[in-house]
Chains A and B, each alone.
Chain A
Amino acid sequence: MSEREIIWEELLKEELLRLANIHLPYSRKSLKQLLSEKYPHVVCKDGTVHMFRRKELEYLKSLLTEDEQEKIMLPIIIELNPSYGEGAAVIKGRVEVKVAAKILDLDIKENTQELIIYRPQIVILREKLRTVTQIAFSLKSIMA
């Protein structure tokens, strides 16, 4: 293989690694913790700071009980998962699912741990909660 092609190969590998959810935070924070911060933010894996809009945090607070405010971890991860079909995504976590279902006006059972949503619903969710949600690729979509 020529030197140029080796460079190409390296670039491709690098691109794959770079794309693999580098925009996600190192660690998530609870709503309660974020509300107590002056500038609510998390640090992403690419070193950037992702700030939350206080208005959105207040809106979430209005939807949840005191206990749930401690349990919900932000940003809410919308995980694109090709195993559920093209454009389908999953939201995991009881409180996260409850919030998403309330915003999307969906009927769900109590204590549902997983919610599958589709592209138009992702758009609605992102429009309403742009800073408190993040879209991620699942490992399956990367390695499939």
Chain B
Amino acid sequence: MSSAKTLKVRPTKIELIKLKRRRILAKRIHRILRERLTILVAEFLSIARGAVKKREELYQHFSKAYEAMSIAYGFHGRAFLTKEMLGVERDVEVVFGTQNIMGVKVPLLEPVDIERKLSERGYVLTDTSLYIDEASRRFEEALKLSIELAEVEKTLERLGMEIRKMRRRVNVLEHILIPKIEATIKYLSMKFEEREREERARLKRVKVLLARRRGK
């Protein structure tokens, strides 16, 4: 048996017992890792489905927002809109936290009051038109969706990395470690059986020799 397929151990009964224990442990870990991998993949797929929908939604929102914006530009003119927009700049508040998905730390982003009321937007309502209101509303929605999509995409990235790592571990156990341990157990068992057979043959030989001596 080649040494590449078995572990280097001394051929003793103690080693055989230890190897059997290791086999149980390795199989247990393999089963848990496989289960964890299945769950992570299921999570990944369900989040990915949501991400695709969100991205499509975001594209639609942005296209509608820019459309509304260009209509507003057309109606009021660039100079007027630029002047109005100067006064409405604001900070966006986002609560950043973490969530734990099967041991994988992923971000949780919650935008706070992104969509404002008409009176809270900061521009003079009597000087502006519905087109500006519409453009503002659409951009606020797009911003909210962008934050949500950022969270989802980062989650996918982290889950993907963990899945790759987990798959490698499962494969090492499945294709390298467990077969190696099993091959070594088989090798040691065969060695002990052979030793036993040799011993039996030796005893038989001794018996024959003793019988011959007694016969003389």
Give A residues with C-beta under 8 Å from B: 1-2, 5, 8-9, 12-13, 15-16, 18-19, 22-23, 39, 41, 44, 46, 48-51, 53-54, 80, 87, 119, 122-123, 126-127, 130-131, 134-135, 137, 141-144
A19–B32 touching, CB < 8 Å:
yes
| Chain B residues within 8 Å of A143, by CB | 28
| Chain B residues within 8 Å of A87, by CB | 38
Give B residues with C-beta under 8 Å from A: 7-9, 15, 18, 22, 25-26, 28-29, 31-33, 35-36, 38-39, 42-43, 46, 50, 95, 97-103, 105, 108, 110, 169, 177
How far apart sit A46 and B99, CA to CA, in the bound complex (Å)?
12
A49–B97 touching, CB < 8 Å:
yes
- Chain B residue nearest to A5 (CB atoms) is B7
A39–B95 touching, CB < 8 Å:
yes
New contact pairs (11) apart from A39-B97, A144-B31, CB-CB < 8 Å: A1-B9, A5-B8, A19-B29, A41-B97, A51-B108, A80-B35, A80-B39, A126-B43, A137-B35, A141-B35, A143-B28
- Chain B residue nearest to A55 (CB atoms) is B110
How far apart sit A23 and B102, CA to CA, in the bound complex (Å)?
6
| Chain A residues within 8 Å of B50, by CB | 127
Sorted nearest first, the 10 A-B pairs with minimum C-beta distance are: A51-B97, A23-B103, A50-B100, A23-B100, A51-B108, A48-B105, A44-B100, A48-B100, A19-B32, A127-B46
Candidates B8, B105, B108, B177; contact of A2 at CB < 8 Å: B8
Candidates A15, A44, A46, A134; contact of B29 at CB < 8 Å: A15
A13–B25 touching, CB < 8 Å:
yes
Candidates B100, B105, B108; contact of A53 at CB < 8 Å: B108
B46–A123 touching, CB < 8 Å:
yes
| Chain A residues within 8 Å of B108, by CB | 51, 53, 131
| Chain B residues within 8 Å of A135, by CB | 39, 102
